[in-house]
Amino acid sequence: MEKVIVGIVGNGNISPIYLKNLTTVFNRIVTVKGVCDLIPERSKKAAESWDIPVIYDTMYDMFKDDEIEIVLNLTTPKQHHGVAIEALKHNKNTHSEKPMSVSLDDAKELFDIGKEKGLLVGVAPDTFMGAGIQTCRKLLDDGYIGSPIGAAAYMTGHGHETWHPDPEFYYEQGGGPMLDMGPYYVTALINLLGPVKRLTGTSHSMFETRTITSEPKYGKVIPVSVDTHVNGIMEFENGAVGSIVMSFDMWKSEHPNIEIFGTEGTMQVPDPNGFGGPVRIQRKDGDFYEMPLTHQYNENCRGVAVADMAMALRTGREHRANSELAYHVLDIMLGFGKSSRTGKHYELQTSCCRPQPMPMNVIPGDLD
Ligand SMILES: NC(=O)c1ccc[n+]([C@@H]2O[C@H](COP(=O)([O-])OP(=O)(O)OC[C@H]3O[C@@H](n4cnc5c(N)ncnc54)[C@H](O)[C@@H]3O)[C@@H](O)[C@H]2O)c1
């Protein structure tokens, strides 16, 4: 297969793992030709560390390069839309970090322009393509715990200002626990149970400011302009009912990341912000036991969706982390806030198909 040429906009904190995986694990499928960052030292460091031939002065220089087929957008949430829409206008396929956009209108614009122009629009996360959640998908589809009754998802932490060097964006529009961590959980739930038809939510914020304790901004006090504790209930189209808690306000909890409750048993889904296990199930009144992972990719394989998009470009098949899925995920995540503000149920404006399961017997670096 002729390799697909990728350019990366944004060479900040998350970019090294993408550069590592795209230049090693998936280098039979893609080639990273160039990088670009508003802070030139970052693109220089990325190019030197991963032997990337081109540093573009601006993203527009990358978009004008006819060889680039996929623009990988690793900017912060409020910047995702502006970068992706410009890339699409320049006839580039795009894959952006999560969330798809910070408003549903912006996400719709990306979705529509991709369809109009016949370009692929992808969005993180791709952790649902990893061994852990793919094993859960197979167990569920094979009927190991019977028919799904419901689900519970829990993400608790105290925010990212203790470790991220520039954590301000986590407390601005597009941040907060739901738009930051929700994509992992909601995407995993849709992959397992299918789309959501109606939801309700209640959300608030306990702290008006946060104090950065990471370097180099140690001691800087930043305002909180998003809800940092979100509770929701989701009614899935298949009849299952799920609850979700996403918090940057709580310290710790021993609640499992995700549990799926079925008519024959319960499944504990591993951390959807990772690729591996453990996957634990119990049936009827038996105890929980760990199941072996059935699929490839149990290490940090961020970038697998970019390789999947590249395969889709060459073969014409669907790609998994696609805009229909991400648009529905965003609709759900923003819907909790809408429900909280109006005091009413929120009927989803969007829906999606469950992504195709990953194949079972591929060697590392392959997808089909
Ligand atoms: N940091 C993590 O651990 C992590 C994990 C998973 C996902 N993410 C997601 O990845 C995205 C990026 O996060 P990050 O932590 O790397 O942020 P970051 O602030 O460290 O990096 C973003 C980079 O994008 C650059 N940038 C912004 N607009 C640009 C433009 N128009 N042209 C060129 N460069 C531009 C900035 O200069 C910056 O270097 C976010 O959406 C975040 O939610 C981050």
38 within domain boundaries: yes
Structure tokens at 14: 């998350």
338 within domain boundaries: no
Q: Do residues 22 and 162 share a domain?
A: no
Q: Do residues 213 and 282 share a domain?
A: yes
Q: Do residues 158 and 270 share a domain?
A: yes
Contacts of 111 (CB under 8 A, 6+ apart): 121, 323, 324, 327
Q: Do residues 86 and 233 share a domain?
A: no
Share above pLDDT 90 across residues of the chain, in percent, rounded to a whole number: 99
Residue 132 burial (10 A CB sphere; 0-12, 13-18, 19+): buried
| pLDDT, tens digit, 9 for 90 and up, residues 287-325 | 999 999 999 999 999 999 999 999 999 999 999 999 999
Structure tokens at 276: 């591996």
154 within domain boundaries: yes
350 within domain boundaries: no
Cα of 34 vs centre of ligand 1, distance in Å, is: 16
At 303 the pLDDT is 98
What residues are paired with 90 via a beta bridge?
Answer: none
| pLDDT, tens digit, 9 for 90 and up, residues 168-205 | 999 999 999 999 999 999 999 999 999 999 999 999 99
Query: What string of H, E and C letters represents the secondary structure of 15-38?
Result: HHHHHHHHHCCCCCCEEEEEEECC
359 within domain boundaries: no
Share above pLDDT 70 across residues of the chain, in percent, rounded to a whole number: 100
At 146 the pLDDT is 98
Q: Do residues 170 and 71 share a domain?
A: no
The DSSP string of 229-255 is EEEEEEEETTS-EEEEEEESS-----S
Q: Do residues 154 and 55 share a domain?
A: no
For residue 99, pLDDT over 90 is answered with yes
Ligand 1 closest atom vs CA 99: 41
Report the CATH number at residue 318: 3.40.50.720
Ligand 1 closest atom vs CA 79: 28
Q: Do residues 123 and 136 share a domain?
A: no
Closest of 180, 187, 294, 189 to residue 247, by C-alpha = 180
Q: Do residues 157 and 268 share a domain?
A: yes
Q: Do residues 110 and 169 share a domain?
A: no
Cα of 83 vs centre of ligand 1, distance in Å, is: 12
Q: Place 92 in a pLDDT band, splitting at 50, 70 and 90.
A: very high
Q: Rounded mean pLDDT of 44-56?
A: 98
φ and ψ at 260, to 5 degrees? -115, 130
The helix or strand, by DSSP H or E, that contains position 67, with its residue range, turns out to be: none
282 within domain boundaries: yes
Q: Rounded mean pLDDT of 23-47?
A: 98
Residue 303 burial (10 A CB sphere; 0-12, 13-18, 19+): buried
Cα 222-223-228 angle, rounded to 5 deg? 110
Cα of 167 vs centre of ligand 1, distance in Å, is: 10
Structure tokens at 344: 């009413």
Best probe residue, ligand 1, of 74, 170, 306 (max atoms within 8 Å of C-beta): 74
The helix or strand, by DSSP H or E, that contains position 9, with its residue range, turns out to be: strand 4-9
- Sheet strands side by side (includes 258-262): 289-291, 279-283, 265-269, 258-262, 148-156, 241-247, 229-236, 196-204, 346-347
For residue 259, pLDDT over 90 is answered with yes
Q: CA neighbours within 13 Å on the CB side: how many for 274?
A: 13
Q: CA neighbours within 13 Å on the CB side: how many for 54?
A: 19
Closest protein CA for atom 8 of ligand 1: 14
Q: Do residues 185 and 141 share a domain?
A: yes
Whole-angstrom CA distances from 125 to 96, 186, 218, 283 are: 9, 10, 29, 30
At 361 the pLDDT is 86
Report the CATH number at residue 218: 3.30.360.10
Structure tokens at 309: 């998009």
317 within domain boundaries: yes
Query: How many folded domains does the chain comprise?
Result: 2
Q: Which residues line ligand 1 (CB under 6 A)?
A: 9-15, 36-39, 42, 59, 74-77, 79, 83, 97-98, 166, 180
How far apart CA 128 and CA 138 sit, in angstroms, is 12
Closest of 83, 118, 81 to residue 7, by C-alpha = 83
Structure tokens at 21: 């995986």
Whole-angstrom CA distances from 199 to 196, 237, 349 are: 8, 11, 11
Structure tokens at 207: 């702290």
Cα of 15 vs centre of ligand 1, distance in Å, is: 8
Q: Do residues 137 and 122 share a domain?
A: no
pTM: 0.98
113 within domain boundaries: yes
* Enclosing domain of residue 257: 128-289
Q: Do residues 132 and 281 share a domain?
A: yes
Cα of 191 vs centre of ligand 1, distance in Å, is: 26
Ligand 1 closest atom vs CA 10: 24
Per-chain mean pLDDT for the chain: 97
| pLDDT, tens digit, 9 for 90 and up, residues 100-111 | 999 999 999 999
